[in-house]
């Protein structure tokens, strides 16, 4: 192999790669390797680039005449700890033994796998709790409460509530799945944001009154056109306003607003800001970054009591992402919460 061929090889390989000579000194590396581990300086020992006992033992074996070695190893990189599939391959350079070392980062695959396992575990737990209650009440109704009408009414009411909770959970799981499938396809049709907000406020006003909450709206008159998916944005507004009503407290006010921003820095242009603000207990700062995680709850017991599934804000986040917008959450303990949805004014932005 010549130096020109070596350069071509390193350029052609898409994963991080270095080549070392028969003394385990670096001969060259590609840009992907430098992005992962740092500068590859020719002539320096490989161990100065990557100090990992198993990888260095595999390299010694290959340079001693052994066959190709494959292993999985965790190591420190420029971006933190990563888990890589490592391949050490015998090469010949200028008539002498050499070796190529490639690293394929599997950290994202492992994170995705862990997320799937956590998701299945969470769904199982969320379904098991109401199912266990239903099974217990069915057994009671067939036995001790068989001839007790008052107990039957009470237990059937609880069973109806638990069945409704499971139904909501399954509905939101299906909704989340659909949203994730569409997330890469940006909506291009033009919709009236003000009209959507008026419809949601009108729909929820009776429920707000029943809960002792007053709904106030500003800026939602007239017509405000923007690219978007009407059904999905309706779901976003409904979810945020309903949450504010649930957690804003009886006797409070939920304020819904719509205003135009001349320039939104992250979206790199004009945007529409939809705000939903309540006067509730607020949320401690430590919880804010995790609110949009699936099944994350600040107060698990209170959330379940109010019919929450732990998926609403995750769905909101995915829908806003699909619209190339931003979701901002501002809250302080004891001072209420403010949820902001920022949507680009035109399809050509963000």
The answer to whether 36 touches 50, Cβ cutoff 8 Å, is no
> Which residues make Cβ contacts (< 8 Å) with residue 218, sequence separation at least 6?
255, 256, 257, 258
pLDDT score recorded for residue 195: 94
Average confidence (pLDDT) per 10 residues, the chain, 350 residues: 78 91 93 92 92 93 92 87 92 89 84 74 79 88 86 88 84 83 83 94 92 90 90 93 85 90 89 92 87 77 60 90 92 88 74
pLDDT score recorded for residue 31: 92
Q: Assign domain 3-105 to its CATH architecture.
A: 2-Layer Sandwich (3.30)
Give the span between the Cα atoms of 284 and 288, in whole angstroms.
Answer: 7
Within 10 A of 171 (CB to CB), how many other CB atoms are there? Answer: 12
pLDDT score recorded for residue 349: 39
Among 57, 17, 55, 25, smallest CA distance to 41 is for 25
Sequence ranges of the domains in the chain: 3-105, 109-182, 186-350
> Which residues make Cβ contacts (< 8 Å) with residue 89, sequence separation at least 6?
62, 68, 99, 100, 101, 102
pLDDT score recorded for residue 149: 87
pLDDT score recorded for residue 308: 63
> Which residues make Cβ contacts (< 8 Å) with residue 291, sequence separation at least 6?
283, 298, 313, 329
pLDDT score recorded for residue 172: 81
Q: Bridge partners of 216?
A: 255
pLDDT score recorded for residue 262: 92
Q: What is the pTM of this model?
A: 0.62
Give the span between the Cα atoms of 92 and 98, in whole angstroms.
Answer: 5
pLDDT score recorded for residue 1: 59
pLDDT score recorded for residue 297: 74
CATH topology of domain 186-350: Heat Shock Protein 90 (3.30.565)
CATH topology of domain 109-182: Helix Hairpins (1.10.287)
pLDDT score recorded for residue 336: 87
Give the span between the Cα atoms of 128 and 256, in whole angstroms.
Answer: 37
């Amino acid at each position: 192999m010549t130096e020109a061929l070596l350069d071509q090889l390193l350029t052609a390989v898409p994963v991080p790669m270095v080549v070392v000579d028969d003394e385990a000194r670096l001969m060259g590396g590609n840009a992907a390797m430098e992005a992962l581990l740092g500068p590859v300086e020719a002539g320096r020992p490989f161990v100065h680039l990557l100090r990992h006992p198993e990888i260095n033992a595999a390299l010694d074996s290959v340079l001693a005449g052994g066959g190709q070695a494959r292993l999985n190893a965790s190591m420190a990189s420029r971006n933190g700890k990563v888990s890589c599939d490592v391949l050490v391959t015998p090469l010949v350079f200028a008539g002498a033994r050499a070796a190529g070392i490639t690293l394929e980062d599997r950290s994202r695959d492992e994170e995705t796998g862990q997320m799937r396992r956590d998701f299945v575990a969470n769904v199982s737990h969320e379904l098991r709790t109401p199912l266990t209650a239903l099974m217990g009440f069915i057994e009671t109704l067939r036995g001790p409460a068989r001839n007790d009408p008052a107990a039957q009414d009470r237990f059937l009411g609880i069973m109806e509530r638990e069945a409704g909770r499971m139904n909501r959970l399954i509905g939101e799981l299906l909704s989340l799945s659909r949203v994730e499938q569409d997330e890469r396809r940006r909506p291009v049709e033009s919709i009236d944001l003000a009209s959507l907000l008026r419809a949601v406020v009108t729909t929820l006003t009776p429920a707000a009154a029943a809960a002792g909450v007053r709904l106030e709206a500003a800026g939602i008159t007239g017509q405000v056109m923007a690219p978007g998916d009407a059904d999905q944005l309706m779901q976003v507004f409904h979810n945020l306003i309903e949450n504010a009503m649930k957690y804003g407290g009886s006797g409070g006010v939920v304020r819904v607003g719509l205003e135009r921003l001349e320039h939104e820095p992250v979206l790199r242009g004009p945007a529409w800001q939809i705000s939903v603000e309540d006067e509730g207990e607020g949320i401690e700062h430590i919880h804010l970054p995790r609110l949009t995680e699936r099944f994350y709850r600040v107060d698990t017991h209170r959330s379940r009591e109010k019919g929450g599934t732990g998926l609403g804000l995750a769905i909101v986040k995915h829908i806003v992402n699909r619209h190339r917008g931003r979701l901002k959450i501002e809250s302080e303990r004891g001072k209420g919460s403010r949820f902001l949805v920022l949507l680009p004014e035109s399809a050509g932005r963000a």
